[in-house]
Amino acid sequence: MDSVITNSERRPFSIKLWPPSENTRKMLVDRMTNNLTSKSFFTQKYGTLSQEEATDESKRIEDIAFVTANQNYEKQPDGDGGAAVQLYAKECSRLLLEVLKRGPRVEEDKEVGSDVISAPRETCFDISKGRRDFIDAEEAEELLKPLKELGNSYTKICFSNRSFGLEAACVTEPILASLKDQLKEVDLSDFIAGRPESEALEVMKIFSDALEGSILRSLNLSNNALGEKGVRAFGSLLKSQTCLEELYLMNDGISKEAAQAVSELIPSTEKLRVLQFHNNMTGDEGALAIAEVVKRSPLLEDFRCSSTRIDSEGGVALSIALEMCTRLKKLDLRDNMFGVEGGVALSKALSYHADLKELYLSYLNLEDEGAIAIANVLKETAPALEVLEMAGNDITAEAASVLAACIAQKLHLTSLNLSENELKDEGTIQISKSLEGHSNLKEVDMSTNLIRRAGARVLAQTLVQKPGFVLLNINGNFISDEGIDEVNDIFKKCPNLLGPLDENDPEGGDGDDQESVEDENDEDELGSKLKNLEVTQEN
């Protein structure tokens, strides 16, 4: 009886030799570690590595060899992987021999009384200082040679300011993969400039996959016009981060979709201390997604979300989220449109921020109501505040007394910026009085505030006597020619402390404000009214 031969029996039997299993890779690492720590011709001649160093070197050798062999295999995926296996073994042997001949790393001379001082080991590899241009495969090979040296101690890399194409990225991939266990800081800002979108996305994915699983402290992906596609191209890297302390996504085209991708791809932000989103197009909907990231970041100390097109709804959401960040030291929300509602919500959040040292709230459309709400809360918290900026918020003299009372409590203040408001002489004099006890003050900007002679004179007299004071800016106001002469005379011994007055308009204003009419023989009417004004400083 004839046997029946099926189609499956006719199909030739094939075994794929590549890739090796995880157990095989681990076994190879253990074997190389044993070679580096056992007695042999090389270890007797060059020294035996410690168990820890041998393990680290073996892992690096295997990583480099694996990535090199895998690239070879991907070029001929129809084969059985035999060529990749041979290359894998050859690279491991070659690199192992290099380490054996080099011997153990000597970080310092341990002999007692030795006068030999070893040079500090380089930890930062930075190519950003070179010329700004495209980088090809050949240049990448040459430029990144130090990163291929076995036993190097680089923990930070900065590839900013150079544009990597696909070929250069392929050269870089195995190098990054071999370093990922030792890297702590990675700066990939502005590293794909001028590349077509499809190529840029592929490059980002190559870098992301190579660094996946690294335990980074700091990651900078700024200035790459990422958008949602770019954020997701870095998905494997972002998802693998569990210990990230600093994340920079500035000028990245972070739309609402991209912001949602960021929130989705970074599940663990419990250790995040710095989060910066400057100059994006996040908007209200994007702000809701960023607010979720902020809520999950209780250790946040430095949060920047400036110039991100956030209106009132997003401002309120962010403010509520910031209530969770009780360790905040620096907050920068400049150039958004929070409005009064956002300002009031922010004032509530500020009550939780006792450690604040820098607060940037310019151009938020706060108006008097929002500014007063913030000043009232801030008066009772943040005793060590050093920088306060509330420029361009339509703040008038109506809010000046509350603002002055708040400023009077901030004796550590070094910089105050209230420019581009409408404080006039009345508000300016109140602010001036609040600054009398501030010995650390270095800069004050009261430009473009409808200030006339009286306000300018009192402010100048208050600040000129400050030790260590650096600059007063009162440009763009309505100070008379006589007032300009008085201010210049006040600063005659230190003219470098007074900013330019080229945009001052001595004939500006409506001319009907009776509180600004000057008496050339004495102080003007407003100055007389306010010369005895006192702003109390609580103990």
Cis status, amide bond into 19, omega within 30 of 0:
yes
Q: And the tokens for 282?
A: 């996040």
Region 22-102: CATH code:
1.10.246.200
pLDDT at 131: 79
Q: Phi and psi of 493, rounded to 5°?
A: -85, -15
Please report, for the chain, how many H helices and E strands are present, in that order: 21, 15
> Crossing angle, helix 82-102 and helix 51-75, to 10 degrees?
150
CATH topology for 121-265? 3.80.10
* CA separation for the pair 341, 322 (Å, rounded): 16
Position 249 scores a pLDDT of 97
DSSP SS3 for 529: helix
Residue 457 and residue 432 in contact, taking contact as beta carbons nearer than 8 Å:
no
Q: Check residue 114 and give its pLDDT.
A: 40
User: Which among 326, 318, 325, 306 is positioned nearest to 343, based on CA atoms?
Assistant: 318
Three-state SS at 498 = strand
Report pLDDT for 14: 54
In tens, the pLDDT along 148-173 reads: 998 899 999 999 999 999 999 999 99
pLDDT value of position 45: 66
3-state secondary structure of 323: coil
Q: How far apart are CA 60 and CA 178, in angstroms?
A: 5
**Residue 185 is inside which H or E element, if any?**
strand 185-187
Give the model confidence (pLDDT) of 367-420 as tens digits.
Answer: 999 999 999 999 999 999 999 999 999 999 999 999 999 999 999 999 999 999
Neighbours of 31 (CB within 10 A): 14
- Map tokens 């939780």 to a residue: 352
In order of 56, 65, 244, the CA distances from 20 in angstroms are 20, 12, 31
Report DSSP state, residue 17: -
Report d(CA 309, CA 330) in Å as an integer: 20
| Parts of the chain with a pLDDT under 50 | 1-13, 107-119, 511-523, 525-539
Q: Where are the domains of the chain?
A: 22-102, 121-265
Please say whether the beta carbons of 240 and 229 come within 8 A. no
